[in-house]
Amino acid sequence: MTIAEIKDKGLLLLECISGSRAYGLDTPSSDTDIKGVFYLPRDQFYGLHYVAQVSNETNDEVYYELGRFVELLLRNNPNMLELLATPDDLVLYRHPLMAAFTQELFLSRLCRDTFAGYAYTQIKKARGYNKKASNPVAPERKHVIDCCFVTEGHQSFPLEAWLQARGYRQEDCGLVAMPHTKGLYALYHSPGAGYRGIVSAADANEVCLSSIPKGEEPESYLYFNQESYSAHCREYREYWGWVALRNEERYLGNKAHGKDYDAKNMMHTIRLLQVAEELLRSGTLQVRRHNREDLLAIKNGEYDYEALLDKAEALMKTIAAAAKDSPLPAEPDEKKAVALLVSLRQQLYT
């Protein structure tokens, strides 16, 4: 099933412009996001090939099967509620039967957790972004040898420096684990003795042990800080994975405002929290935002990172207070919604 097939076969029920243009937060560089609802042909719906969602390659256009749409609405999923409440001037197509789907049928106090809960995950992402942007990891990953140290008297020295000072090769060294001492090894050196070396290969993730003849005396003792090495590998993998996947244009824009946080992410975090508070107090969802300039100021990096976190925390508290006196029901009327879904399918398949 493709988006083209949905339209060619007359399966489209709803199609709307979404994202920043729906929020009234678009700028000249904004993409046009599309969301919609479709229904499956009768044979496919009753058969074994249910399709819940269809999207294009960039996920700028996403369409949800009718049943999945209702399922997510009953959970008060923010994206689906916003799609349902899209301003009329941004609705590209609405099947007449879709008029039965109203905000009142689905809005509930569950939105406290879905809107604010989702926003909280975005705050955590913003913290992660801030950490990565402020603490870049060097392009070259450390090796096991970089986390090894050799004892000498009352001091310890990096293994690499110790080897260079003596003109030793790590391949001519052998290690034997010391009992009852995690990470500590007796270090032997003897060219041509057949020792296995300290590491077996440059990309090894642990030290290598050797069989040492009886009577041999260790030249020193080596400590491998495996915890530090593992932590570095994890940070390296996370950081450079983030670099590979990040939106470079967006990243450079964030660097330009010099605040080292994902400004667009924080803008939508604050927007979601503000929507949640309004929704709980008024009982209605307003997708297009009335405070465009203030939200765009966040996107442009005009706020300090900590100030935005404080703002988000304050909104979380007001949301909790609003939920106590909200006119919304505790949760949607599932029986009524399912009855509507069944009725709609019957009409579509007749």
178 in a structural domain = yes
One digit per residue, the tens of pLDDT, for the chain of length 350 reads 899 999 999 999 999 999 999 999 998 888 899 999 999 999 999 998 899 999 998 889 999 999 999 999 999 999 999 999 999 999 999 999 999 999 999 999 999 999 987 777 777 666 655 555 666 888 888 999 999 999 988 899 999 999 999 999 999 999 999 999 999 999 999 999 999 999 998 888 999 999 999 889 999 999 999 999 999 999 888 888 877 766 555 555 555 555 566 788 889 899 999 999 999 999 999 999 999 999 999 988 888 888 888 898 899 999 999 999 999 999 999 999 999 999 999 999 98
Closest to 198 (Cα-Cα) out of 226, 159, 142, 167: 159
Judge if 79 and 153 occupy the same domain.
Answer: no
Q: Which two tokens stand for residue 344?
A: 């709609």
Q: Are 61 and 31 in contact (CB under 8 A)?
A: no
235 in a structural domain = no
Helix axes 334-349, 66-74, angle to 10 degrees: 170
Q: Which two tokens stand for residue 145?
A: 């040898």
Burial 73-84 (b: 16+ CB within 10 A, else e): bbbbbbebbbbb
CA 214 to chain centre: 55
Residue that finishes a domain, picked among 227, 262, 279:
227
238 in a structural domain = no
Domain that holds residue 223: 144-227
Q: Which two tokens stand for residue 229?
A: 């090495």
CA atoms within 13 A on the CB side of 72: 19
Q: pTM of the predicted model, to two decimals?
A: 0.66
3-state helix, strand, coil in the chain (%, to 5): 50, 15, 35
HEC sequence for 1-12: CCHHHHHHCCCE
Judge if 341 and 217 occupy the same domain.
Answer: no
Q: Which two tokens stand for residue 30?
A: 């904004």
237 in a structural domain = no
